[in-house]
Amino acid sequence: MTQTIADRRDIDFVLFEQFEADSLIKSEKYADFTKKMLDMIITEARSFALKEFLPTYKEGDREGVRLENGAVTVPECYRRAHKLYQEGEWLALTQSPEYGGQGLPHVIAQAVFEYLIGSNYTLTMYGILACGSGKLIELYGSQKIKDLFLQNVYSGKWGGTMLLTEPQAGSDLGSITTQAVSNGDGTYSLKGNKIFISNGDQNLTENIIHPVLARIQGAPAGTRGISLFLVPKFWVNDDGSIGEFNHITCTGIEEKMGLHGSPTCSMSMGEKGLCRGYLLGEENKGMAGMFQMMNDVRLEVGTQSFAHASAAYLYAVDYATQRLQGRKLGDTDLNAPQVPIVHHPDVRRMLMSMKAYVEGMRSFTYYVALCFDKAACAETDAQKQHYTGLIDILTPVVKSYCSEKGFDVCVQAMQVFGGYGYTKDYPIEQILRDCKICSIYEGSNGIQAMDFLGRKLGMNNGQVFLSLSLEIEKTIAMAKTHDPLFTMAQKLGQAMETFKETALLIARLASSKNFDTAFLYAHPLMEVTGDLVMAWMLLWRATVAITRTADKKQASFYQGQIKSAEYFIHAMIPITLGKMESIKNCNDAAISIREDAFAG
Q: Above 90 in pLDDT, residue 348?
A: yes
Residue 308 has pLDDT above 60, yes or no: yes
- Cβ–Cβ contacts within 10 Å for residue 144, how many? 11
Percentage of the chain exceeding pLDDT 70 = 99
| Residue 599: per-residue pLDDT | 84
Residue 234 pairs in a beta bridge with: 245
Reported as a pLDDT band with limits 50, 70 and 90, residue 289 is: confident
First to last CA, the chain: 49
Calculate the average pLDDT of the chain.
Answer: 94
Q: Is 25 left (phi over 0), alpha (psi -120 to 50) or beta?
A: alpha
1 has pLDDT over 60: no
Closest CA to 505 of 450, 453, 469: 453
What's 160-286's CATH class? mainly beta
Nearest CA to 362 out of 125, 554, 126, 533 is that of 533
* 3-class SS of residue 144: helix
What is the pLDDT confidence band of residue 259, given thresholds at 50, 70 and 90? very high
User: Does pLDDT of 10 surpass 90?
Assistant: yes
Query: Taking the CB of residue 593, how many other CB atoms lie within 10 A of it?
Result: 10
CB 398, CB 302: distance < 8 Å: yes
**Residue 315 pLDDT exceeds 80:** yes
Question: What is the predicted pLDDT for the residue at 171?
Answer: 73
- Cα(14)–Cα(359) distance, rounded to whole angstroms? 9
Q: Do the Cβ atoms of 284 and 224 come closer than 8 Å?
A: yes
Closest CA to 365 of 19, 4, 8, 3: 19
319-331 as b/e: b if 16+ CB within 10 A: bbeebeeebeeee
Beta bridge partners of 236: 242
As a whole number of angstroms, the distance between CA 347 and CA 345 comes to 5
d(CA 270, CA 22): 50
111 phi, psi to nearest 5 deg = -65, -40
Q: Where are the alpha helices (DSSP H) in 480-593?
A: 486-510, 515-520, 522-545, 555-567, 573-585, 589-592
Q: What is the pLDDT of residues 216-227, one digit of tens each?
A: 998 988 889 999
Q: Are 198 and 160 in contact (CB under 8 A)?
A: no
Alpha-carbon gap, residue 541 to 536, rounded angstroms: 9
The pLDDT value given to residue 39: 97
Choosing from 52, 166, 404, 442, the catalytic residue is 442
Three-class secondary structure assignment of 451-489: HHHHHHCCHHHHHHHHHHHHHHHHHHHHHCCCHHHHHHH
Residue in 225, 214, 227, 213 with CA at minimum distance from that of residue 179: 214
Buried residues in 203-215 as b, exposed as e (16+ CB within 10 A): bbbebbbbbbbbb
In CATH terms, 8-155 corresponds, of 2.60.40.10, 1.10.3720.10, 1.10.540.10, 3.40.50.970, to: 1.10.540.10
Q: Establish whether 442 is a catalytic residue.
A: yes
212 has a pLDDT exceeding 60: yes
Q: State the pairing for strand pair 179-182/248-253.
A: unpaired
For position 587, what pLDDT does the model report?
Answer: 95
Q: What number is the average pLDDT over the span 339-357? A: 97
H/E element holding 374? helix 345-376
| Coil/strand/helix, residue 544 | helix
Task: Give Cα separations from 378 to 34, 155, 367, 375 (angstroms).
Answer: 20, 29, 16, 5
How far apart are the C-alpha atoms of 40 and 44, rounded to whole Å? 6
Tens of pLDDT, residue by residue over 423-474, are 999 999 999 999 999 999 988 999 999 999 999 999 999 999 999 999 999 9
The alpha carbons of the chain give a radius of gyration, in whole angstroms, of: 25
Q: How many CA atoms lie within 13 A of 16 on its CB side?
A: 14
- For the four alpha carbons of 566, 568, 569 and 574, in that order, the dihedral sign comes to positive
Q: Are 91 and 165 in contact (CB under 8 A)?
A: no
Confidence of residue 173 (pLDDT cuts 50, 70, 90): confident
When pLDDT is averaged across residues 508-512 and rounded to a whole number, the result is 94
Mean local confidence (pLDDT), 386-399: 96
* Four-point Cα dihedral 265, 270, 275, 277, nearest 10: 70
Residue spans per domain, the chain:
8-155, 160-286, 444-589
**Do the domains at 8-155 and 160-286 have one common CATH topology?**
no
Reduce the DSSP state of residue 340 to 3 states and report it: strand
**39-60 pLDDT per residue, tens:** 999 999 999 999 999 999 999 9
Which residues in 403-440 are b (16+ Cβ under 10 Å) and which e? bbbbbbbbbbbbebbeeebeeeebbbbbbbbbbbbbbe
Q: What is residue 600's predicted lDDT score, i.e. its pLDDT? A: 65
**Segment (H or E) for 194:** strand 187-198
pTM of the complete model: 0.96
Reduced 3-state DSSP string for 97-112: HHHCCCCCCHHHHHHH
- Whether 2 has a pLDDT exceeding 60, the answer reads no
pLDDT of 130 over the 70 cut:
yes
| Secondary structure in 3-state letters for 15-51 | HHHHCCHHHHHHCCCCCCCCHHHHHHHHHHHHHHHHH
Phi, psi dihedrals of residue 196, rounded to the nearest 5°: 55, 45
State the pLDDT confidence band at 169, using cuts at 50, 70 and 90: confident
Strands (E), 254-389: 264-269, 276-280
Which of 564, 392, 394 has the alpha carbon at shortest distance from 18?
564
Q: Which of 104-108, 176-180, 188-192 has the lowest mean pLDDT?
A: 176-180
Angle, CA 291 vertex, CA 253 and CA 88 arms, to 5°: 65
Question: Please, which pLDDT band fits residue 491 given cuts at 50, 70 and 90?
Answer: very high
Amino acid at 311: A
d(CA 204, CA 211): 19
Summarised one tens digit per residue, pLDDT across range 69-103 is 889 999 999 999 999 999 999 999 999 898 889 99
Q: Is the pLDDT of residue 4 over 90?
A: no
pLDDT at res. 3: 60
Where does 262-408 show beta strands of DSSP type E? 264-269, 276-280
CA distance 181 to 185: 11
Q: How far is Cα 433 from Cα 61, in angstroms, rounded to an integer?
A: 11
In whole angstroms, what is the distance from residue 204 CA to residue 395 CA? 31
